[in-house]
Every structure is written in structure tokens, then in C-alpha cells.
Amino acid sequence: MNTQEKVSIQQLKETIDVALQRYLPSATTRPSELHSAMRYSACEGGKRVRALLLLICSSIYRQSEDPLPACVAIECVHAYSLIHDDLPTIDNSALRRNKPSCHIAFDEATALLAGDALLTEAFIILSTHYAHRPELGLYLTQILSTTSGSSGMIGGQKEDIDNEGQSIDSETLEYIHKNKTAKLIQAAILMGFAFAPKGDCPLSSNDREMLGYHIGMAFQYLDDLLDAQSNSSILGKPTGKDNDLEKLTSIKVYGLEATRKRINQHSDTALELLRKAQANTALIESYIESLRQRIN
Ligand code: GRG
């Protein structure tokens, strides 16, 4: 990524952070502890990968609608999933984004409710901010709800839990990675391109789906690799957790070297798909390249 691209990404991230502060209920609104917990988990920290992918894809064309409410909505769903994932009954993780997890900073009941409320808030935001463009609002709602529901992120999480301590099974691993992580990343891509003027989208619907799938798979393979090789001060969350929980990970199924190879294959395929597009995709290409090289 060149310096100008780095500055652009940083500026977009700051714009997303400001939008999160703006669209989430204020911490002084009753019940203030619940709203504080929502803001604690959604507004502070995080790489904003999903919102950035959405925003960069949407900015390939001059749009007539503001994509920021959609960016906030997808980050709300992501933050809810992290809060619930950290709960004692799921991964029992005390650290997230370099600070105490929501249930440690508040309490379990508040964390559970903050997660629920963030999920709900995502759809309040979409239905409110795109009410004047019902087709767009409905499409964004369909994408975000189906990718995060029982045939998407929650389905992947269920099989992730069910397969703790189970024997190596590459087909199940693919199901878990694809649903638990890649689906929400796919949502970011599909939602971003939905802001292109009608008939002007640079990629076919199948290519858009495949683009999201490949970015998402590369992202989760690297997550497995970092969990095995990095440390908690760099990642801002506990490491070695997959091993402790006897999770089915790509390291267990394929080993370190083949996992790195898969990260590169999925990233390369995503980049090839983008190069087919008759549009200026330089920023999204270089962001995908930076995701492949990320260290946290
Ligand atoms: C309903 C109790 C209950 C639990 C559901 C839906 C769910 C819990 C969990 C979703 C699965 C999940 C947490 C997937 C993790 C995917 C992943 C790689 C997360 C880390 O994303 P980053 O690195 O995090 O983008 P930051 O902090 O940078 O935003």
C-alpha cells in the first residue's frame, strides 16, 4: 500500500469511527449502562475491516446515497458477535481489542443484552436511514440478516462449538470458516456495491459473491495463523485459545505452511476477480493486499 492509500484508509476508518459515535444511542440515554456497554464494544478499537470493505466498494462510483449508516450497521452486527463469542458460555475470553471483554467490564447479563441490542440496532439503522430508498434498504437488510443468521454467521458458530475436540475434517472446517467469518465479509462487499448507480456495478452478482467469499476465507485462515503464532499484546485478544478449546482450525487440518498457501490463493483469486472489473479498483486491491499482510 503506498502512502496516499494508507492515508486514505486511515481517513475512511476515522470517518467510520465518527459515524459509529453518531448513530449509536448516547451513553446518557436510559438505560445508560446498556448503552454504555454497546458503545464500549462497538465504538472503541477494532480494525473496521467490514465497514472499510463496504465503504471502499461503495466509493468506486459517485453514489447518491450515504453508505455510512450501512457501515455502522455491519459493525454493530460484528460487535454483537464478538461480545457473545467472548461470553463464558461460548469462548470465555476476558480480553478483546486490548481491553476487558464486555462481560468483564460490565457483567454477563449486560453483555448479553448489549449484544442483542447491537444486533437489533443494525436493523433500526438500515430501516430508518434508507426508508426513502425502500429497495436499497430492503436489499441491505436481506443481505445483512441472511449472512448473519442461522445459515450464515450463527450457523458457522454453532458448528464451530459442536466440533470442539472432534477429529480433523476439512469439509466441516470449510463450512465453519465460510459461514462464521466469510459470510459477514461477503455482506460487506455486496452491501458496498449496492450503492453503485443502477446497472453500473463493475462486477456480476456471482463475481461479487465470490470476491467476498475469497476475502473472507483468506481473513479467517490468517486469523487461525495469528492465533497460533502471535501474542496477545499484538492481537489485543488471548492467543492459543483455539488450541485450548480444541477448536477445528486450519492449523490442525492443514498445518502452518499450507494455511499460509491458502491465504495467498484466496487473496490472489480475490485480486484476479477485481482486475476483471472495468473500474478503478486500486484502493480495494491494495486494501486486500494489506489484509493478507496484517499482523493483528
Ligand atoms: C448467540 C451466544 C451467541 C453467540 C453467537 C454469532 C456469534 C456468537 C459469533 C460469531 C462468530 C465470530 C465471533 C466469528 C469471529 C470472526 C473473526 C475473525 C473475528 C475477528 O474479527 P476482526 O479481526 O476483529 O475484524 P476487530 O476487533 O478488528 O473488529
- Which of 251, 78, 282 lies closest to 180 in space, CA to CA? 78
109-166 per-position pLDDT tens digit: 999 999 999 999 999 999 999 999 999 999 999 999 999 999 999 999 999 999 998 8
pLDDT of residue 278: 82
Mean pLDDT, the chain, rounded, equals: 95
pLDDT of residue 277: 87
Average pLDDT over residues 17-34: 98
Which atom of ligand 1 sits closest to the CA of residue 50? Answer: 25
Mutation probe of ligand 1 site: the residue of 13, 20, 84 with most atoms within 8 A of C-beta: 84
- Which segments of 130-281 does DSSP mark as H helices, in order? 134-148, 153-162, 170-177, 183-193, 205-229, 232-235, 241-244, 250-254, 256-275
Question: Does any ligand 1 atom lie closer than 6 A to the CB of residue 181?
Answer: yes
pLDDT of residue 225: 95
Question: Does any ligand 1 atom lie closer than 6 A to the CB of residue 81?
Answer: yes
Cα–Cα distance between 181 and 222 in angstroms, integer? 12
Average pLDDT over residues 17-36: 98
Contact 159, 175 (CB under 8 A): yes
Which atom of ligand 1 sits closest to the CA of residue 79? Answer: 29
**Closest C-alpha to ligand 1, atom 4:** 84
Share of the chain above pLDDT 90, in %: 88
Ligand 1 center–CA 77 separation, angstroms: 9
Contact 294, 222 (CB under 8 A): yes
Instruction: State the pTM of this model.
Output: 0.96
Q: Residue 199 above 80 pLDDT?
A: no
Mutation probe of ligand 1 site: the residue of 78, 85, 217, 249 with most atoms within 8 A of C-beta: 85
Question: Does any ligand 1 atom lie closer than 6 A to the CB of residue 46?
Answer: yes
pLDDT of residue 240: 87
Of the listed ranges 36-45, 233-242, 268-277, the one predicted with least confidence: 233-242
Cα–Cα distance between 60 and 201 in angstroms, integer? 9
pLDDT of residue 279: 87
Question: Does any ligand 1 atom lie closer than 6 A to the CB of residue 86?
Answer: no
Burial category of 199 from C-beta neighbours within 10 Å (exposed 0-12, middle 13-18, buried 19 and up): exposed
222-250 per-position pLDDT tens digit: 999 999 999 999 999 998 888 888 888 99
Instruction: Determine the length of the chain.
Output: 296
Question: Does any ligand 1 atom lie closer than 6 A to the CB of residue 260?
Answer: no
Which atom of ligand 1 sits closest to the CA of residue 47? Answer: 28
> Which residues have C-beta within 8 Å of that of residue 228, sequence separation ≥ 6?
239, 240, 242, 243, 249, 251, 256
Q: Residue 262 above 90 pLDDT?
A: yes
pLDDT of residue 296: 92
- Which of 209, 259, 191 lies closest to 50 in space, CA to CA? 191
Q: Given pLDDT bands bounded at 50, 70 and 90, which one contains residue 63?
A: confident
203-224 per-position pLDDT tens digit: 899 999 999 999 999 999 999 9
Give how far Cα 131 sits from Cα of 60, 125, 199, Å: 24, 10, 21
pLDDT of residue 206: 96
pLDDT of residue 245: 84
**Closest C-alpha to ligand 1, atom 7:** 81
Higher pLDDT, 255 or 241: 255
Ligand 1 center–CA 142 separation, angstroms: 20
**Closest C-alpha to ligand 1, atom 9:** 81
Q: What's the alpha-carbon Rg for the chain, to the nearest Å? A: 18
